[in-house]
Amino acid sequence: MIKQDPLQSELSDEILAARIAQHDVAALGMIYDRFALQVFTLAAMLSDCVEAERIMLQVFSSLWFEVDQFFLYGGSFQDWLLGLSRGYILTRLEHHAGQTEQDTIDAINRWLSEVASQTTEAGEGFHQPGSGLPVRQALQDLTEEQRCAIILAHYGGYKQSEIARLLSWSLSAVGQHLKEGLQRLRDITKPTLVLESG
């Protein structure tokens, strides 16, 4: 294990990226520590844990060789890295033989179920801000398509075009599922919000 200087933990992501570009292994380790869970979560939404771990490790291996692209990006390092991760996940799933739309939907449902179980065991709330109603409960009242579109867009950060690729839907279908699903979520949580504000 690489020993970290306490002062180095205060370094920005951008400074660490510059150090990775100079082949600083310790800087890569610090970036890994900061973002591995987020990258794993993105992958775990769409695959099993073994595959998600494999994807996560390959993303960080790619980062070592592709970090120079960040300096042409113009945004935050976190946004760039998560975008790189989503692109890698999309490409991998597209080339995964036998991966069907239903396999992807099943993976998303499994991920939601596991997250809900973990937050319940930890005593943490998976709640809509300002509402007593758990988001998980509200999501279960949506259609499967609405639920998957919302999870990918709002928890995974996937663009509508990426969701269309993942699920082999048209762009208009993705937009419709998102619009109807978000409206349904508002309708479900509205009575709770009214009661709480009264």
* pLDDT, mean of each 10-residue run, the chain (198 residues): 56 95 96 95 88 92 94 91 92 77 87 70 45 64 91 92 91 96 84 45
Same domain, 7 and 75: yes
User: Residue 134: its pLDDT value, please?
Assistant: 61
Number of domains in the chain: 2
**Domain stop point among 84, 99, 114:** 99
Confidence at residue 73, expressed as pLDDT on a 0 to 100 scale: 87
- Whether residue 107 sits in one domain with residue 197: yes
Per-residue confidence (pLDDT) for residue 35, from 0 to 100:
96
CATH code assigned at 159? 1.10.10.10
Angle at 161 between CA 158 and CA 167, to 5 degrees: 80
The dihedral through the CA atoms of 11, 13, 14, 16 has a sign that is: positive
Residue-number span of the structural domain to which 94 is assigned: 1-99
Beta bridge partners of residue 134, listed in sequence order: 127
Q: Is residue 146 exposed (0-12), middle (13-18) or buried (19+ Cβ within 10 Å)?
A: buried
Residue 50 carries which side chain, given as an amino acid letter?
V
Q: Please tell me the pTM assigned to this model.
A: 0.75
| pLDDT at res. 10 | 82
Q: What SS3 class is residue 118?
A: helix
- Specify whether 59 is located in the same domain as 104: no
Using alpha carbons, list the distances in angstroms from residue 20 to 79, 104, 124, 178: 17, 34, 36, 38
